[in-house]
Amino acid sequence: MLKKRWNHKKIFEWGIEGLIKLSGIVSIILVGLIFIFLLKEGISVFKIVNPINFILGKEWHPVSKPPDFGILSLILGSFAVTLGAAIIALPLGVTSAIFIAEVTTGKTKEMLKIGIEFLAAIPSVVIGFVGIVVLAPVIQKVFDLPTGLTVLTGSIMLSIMAMPTIVSISEDAITAVPKRYREAALALGATRWQTIWRVVLPSASGGIVAACMLGIGRVIGETMAVMMVTGNAPRIPHSLLEPARTLTSTIAAEMGETVQGSEHYFALFAIGIVLFIITFVINFTADLFLHKEKV
Amino acid sequence: MKKLSPKITQKIVFSLLSLATLLAMVPVVLIVLIIIKNGLGAINWEFLTTAPRNGMREGGILPAIVGTFCLVTGAVVFAVPVGVFAAIYLNEYAKKNWLTRLIRLAIINLAGVSSVVYGLFGLGLFVIFLKFGASILAGAMTLAIMNLPVIITATREALANVPQSFREVSLSLGASKWQTIWHVVLPNAIPGILTGIILEISRAAGETAPILFTVAAFYLPGFPTSVFDQVMALPMHLYAISTQIPNIGLDVRYGTALVLLGVVLGVNSVVIIIRARLRRRQKW
C-alpha cells in the first residue's frame, strides 16, 4: 500500500515543493553570501590599519607609500550629499504623496503616478549625465565657481532619485489608512485638510517615516550619478559648493585600477562592508516602522 | 492675529501641496524633454547599427546595444525561475513564523543594498571565486540577484490577487497543492508576473555599477561569442563617453542617453499598459 503511493507524481510533487522551499530561503542565503564575500575580501585591510583608524582616519591615499586608509572624508562626503538631498527630497516627497493620495483623483492621479514611476525608471547614469551637461554649468555660473561639480549638484540630482521611493511608499501608507477613519472625521464636521492633518497623517506616520528612511538609504547607496556630478575630491567638504567624494563613488572609481589581492583592493571591499552595514541598519529600522503599523 | 477659517486654511494648504507636487514632477519632464530634444538629431541608422570609431567619438553604439541585450536576457533567465518560485513559497506555503519574517527582511535588504556593493559581490563571488572572469555570465548573475526582489514582489502580489475560492475549488476536486498552483493559480497570475519580469528588464538595462567590475568593457567593437566574453553595455558606454573621454561631441552622448532612456521608458510603458488592461479585465 505504502509503496504504491510513492508513484512518479508524488515524487515529482515532492521535488517541486522542495525546490519552492529552497527558492523561498534563497534571499536569506544571498544576503548572507553578500556579507560573507565582502568580509572575506575586505577583512584583510584590518591587518594594516585598525578599524577605528580606518573609520576615523582623515587621509585616503590608497596608492602612496606607505598608504593611508582613512575613510572619514568619504563618510562625511556621503553624509553631506545625503543631507542635502534629504533636505530637498523629504518635504517635497511627503507633500507630493499627500497630494497624490488625498487631494487628486481620476486622470490627474494616474498621470502623476505614472510620472513618479518614470522617474524611478530613469537610470542613474542618465541622471548623472544630465547633471554634468545641464545642472553643473548652471551651478558653476550662478555661484561663480571653478567647477560646477559640487556637493550641491550631487544633492540636487540625488534628491530627484530619492523622490520616487519617498512618494510611492508614503502614498501607499496614506492610502492604507482605513476609509472609516476619514468618514468619521468628516461626519464630525472637520474639513478635508483637518481630516488629513489630524487623522490620516498620524495613522500613516509609521509608513511615512519608513518611506523617508528608505529614500535616504537609496541616496547613500547611489553610485553612478553621485560619482559623475560631485567632483570626486577625496577630502572633507567645508561647504556645499565644494567637490566631495562619497563611499560609493570611491569603490566605483578605484576598483578598476587596483590589483586583485592588494591592500587597496581589500580597503575598497572594507568600504563595501561599511556601506552594507549602513544600508542594513536603515532597511531594518524602516521595516520595523512599516511592521509596527500593521499590528 | 485672528485665526484663519478652516476652509481658507484648506485652500492655502491644498494649493501649496499642488505646487510642491508640480515641483517634484518638473525634473522628470525636464530630463526626458532635454534628452529627446538634444538626442534625436544624433540618432540615425548608422548610429544604431555600427560600432564606435575614432576613440568612440564617431560611429554608432551597436556593440553596446547587443551587450545590454545579452545581459538583460541572462538576468531574466536566472532571476525569473528563482523569483517566481520564491514568491510561490511566500504566498502559498509560508506560515506566519520567524522564517517568513526573516525572508521578508532579507528581500527588503536585497532591495536596499547599494548597487556598487552588488558590483563588489559579483566580483568576489562570480569573477574571482567561481573563476568566471569578467564575463556576460558574471554580470548577468549579479544583475539577476540585484533584481530578485522586483520579481518576487510583483509575483507575490499577483498570486495574492488570485481569489482563495479558485484554490478551494481546485483542491476540492482532488487536485494536489502543486497541481492547483500550476493549473489554476499561476495562469491567473501571469499578467502580474509579466509586469515583474518587464520591470526587471528595465532595471537590468539601466544599471551601471553592478556591471562595472563584473562584465563591462570600455571599448570592444566586436560581438560576444560565448557567455564568458566581456561586452560593452549601454549605461557603461554612456558613463565612459560622459566622463572618461575628452572632446567628445555632445550629440553622441545625448544620442546614447536617448537610446538608453528610450529602452527603459519604453519597457516601462508596456508595464503601465498591461496593468491598465488588467484592471479593466479582472472580474472577480
Instruction: Output the 3-class SS for chain A.
Output: CHHHHCCHHHHHHHHHHHHHHHHHHHHHHHHHHHHHHHHHHHHHHHHCCCHHHHHHCCCEECCCCCCEECCHHHHHHHHHHHHHHHHHHHHHHHHHHHHHHHHCCHHHHHHHHHHHHHHHHCCHHHHHHHHHHHHHHHHHHHHCCCCCCCHHHHHHHHHHHHHHHHHHHHHHHHHCCCHHHHHHHHHCCCCHHHHHHHHHHHHHHHHHHHHHHHHHHHHHHCCHHHHHHCECCCCCCCCCCCCECCHHHHHHHHHHHCCCCCHHHHHHHHHHHHHHHHHHHHHHHHHHHHHHHHC
Tell me how close the Cα of A123 comes to any Cα of chain B, in angstroms.
5
Confidence of residue A1 (pLDDT cuts 50, 70, 90): very low
What is the per-residue pLDDT across A204-227, written as a single tens digit (0 to 9) for each?
999 999 999 999 999 999 999 999
Partner-chain residue, chosen from B20, B152, B243, that has the shortest CB–CB distance to A99:
B20
Q: By three-state DSSP, how is residue B135 classified?
A: coil
Q: How high is the pLDDT of residue A93?
A: 95
Residue of B nearest to A104 (CA): B18
Q: What is the mean pLDDT of chain A?
A: 89
**pLDDT at A106 > cutoff 90:** no
What is the per-residue pLDDT across A128-166, written as a single tens digit (0 to 9) for each?
999 999 999 999 999 988 888 999 999 999 999 999 999
Total residue count of chain A as it appears in this document: 295
Q: Could you give the residue ranges of the DSSP H alpha helices within chain B?
A: 6-39, 45-49, 62-88, 98-112, 115-122, 136-160, 164-172, 177-180, 186-206, 209-212, 234-243, 250-281
Interchain CB distance below 8 Å, B178 and A17? yes
Partner-chain residue, chosen from B7, B109, B124, that has the shortest CB–CB distance to A31:
B109
Q: Which domains does chain B have, with CATH numbers?
A: 60-281 (1.10.3720.10)
Residue of A nearest to B128 (CA): A260
Interchain CB distance below 8 Å, A280 and B202? no
Q: How high is the pLDDT of residue B83?
A: 94
For A274, B27, B208, the CA distances from A231, given in Å and listed in that order, are: 22, 21, 18
Distance CA A143, CA A162 (A): 25
What is the per-residue pLDDT across B131-165, written as a single tens digit (0 to 9) for each?
898 899 999 999 999 999 999 999 998 999 899 99
What is the per-residue pLDDT across A3-42, written as a single tens digit (0 to 9) for each?
555 677 788 888 888 999 999 899 999 999 999 999 999 9
HSE, CB side, 13 Å, CA atoms: give it for residue A142. 12
Tell me how close the Cα of A266 comes to any Cα of chain B, in angstroms.
11
| ipTM confidence | 0.90
Residue of A nearest to B276 (CA): A110
> Which of A77, A113, A97, A125 shows the shortest CA–CA distance to A208?
A97
What is the per-residue pLDDT across B65-114, written as a single tens digit (0 to 9) for each?
999 999 999 999 999 999 999 999 999 998 888 899 899 889 989 998 99
Using an 8 Å CB-CB cutoff, list chain A residues near B243. Answer: 132, 228
Instruction: Tell me if A93 sits within 8 A of A166, measured CB to CB.
Output: yes
Tell me how close the Cα of B278 comes to any Cα of chain A, in angstroms.
15
Q: How high is the pLDDT of residue A295?
A: 39
Tell me how close the Cα of A24 comes to any Cα of chain B, in angstroms.
4
Q: How high is the pLDDT of residue B1?
A: 55
Interchain CB distance below 8 Å, B85 and A23? yes
What is the per-residue pLDDT across A241-258, written as a single tens digit (0 to 9) for each?
888 899 999 999 898 888
**pLDDT at B51 > cutoff 60:** yes
Interchain CB distance below 8 Å, B253 and A133? yes
* Parallel/antiparallel/unpaired status of strands B52-53 and B58-59: antiparallel
Angle at A134 between CA A128 and CA A135, to 5 degrees: 75
> Does the domain formed by A52-294 have CATH 1.10.3720.10?
yes
Using an 8 Å CB-CB cutoff, list chain B residues near A134. Answer: 34
What is the per-residue pLDDT across A262-281, written as a single tens digit (0 to 9) for each?
889 999 999 999 999 999 99
Partner-chain residue, chosen from A41, A95, A284, that has the shortest CB–CB distance to B20:
A95
Interchain CB distance below 8 Å, B208 and A223? yes
Partner-chain residue, chosen from B114, B116, B202, that has the shortest CB–CB distance to A121:
B202
Using an 8 Å CB-CB cutoff, list chain B residues near A210. Answer: none
Interchain CB distance below 8 Å, A252 and B34? no
Q: What is the DSSP letter of B228?
A: T
**pLDDT at B195 > cutoff 90:** no
Distance CA B154, CA B35 (A): 30
**pLDDT at A293 > cutoff 80:** no
The percentage of residues in chain B with a pLDDT greater than 70, rounded to a whole number, is 98
Residue of A nearest to B9 (CA): A193
**pLDDT at B226 > cutoff 90:** no
> Which of A279, A254, A268, A280 shows the shortest CA–CA distance to A41?
A268
Q: How high is the pLDDT of residue B106?
A: 92
Cell of B169: 475549488
Residue of A nearest to B206 (CA): A123
Confidence of residue B2 (pLDDT cuts 50, 70, 90): low
Interchain CB distance below 8 Å, B268 and A286? no
Instruction: Tell me if A220 sits within 8 A of A82, measured CB to CB.
Output: yes
Using an 8 Å CB-CB cutoff, list chain B residues near A25. Answer: 99, 103
Total residue count of chain B as it appears in this document: 284
The DSSP bridge partners found for residue A61 are A68
Residue type, B230: Q
Residue of A nearest to B176 (CA): A13
Sorted by where each begins, the domain ranges of chain A are: 52-294
For A275, B75, B137, B145, the CA distances from B80, given in Å and listed in that order, are: 28, 8, 16, 10
Residue of B nearest to A255 (CA): B213
Interchain CB distance below 8 Å, A103 and B109? no
With the CA atoms of A225, A230, A231 and A237 taken in that order, what torsion angle do they form, in degrees rounded to the nearest 10? -150
Interchain CB distance below 8 Å, B17 and A99? yes
Distance CA B212, CA A256 (A): 8
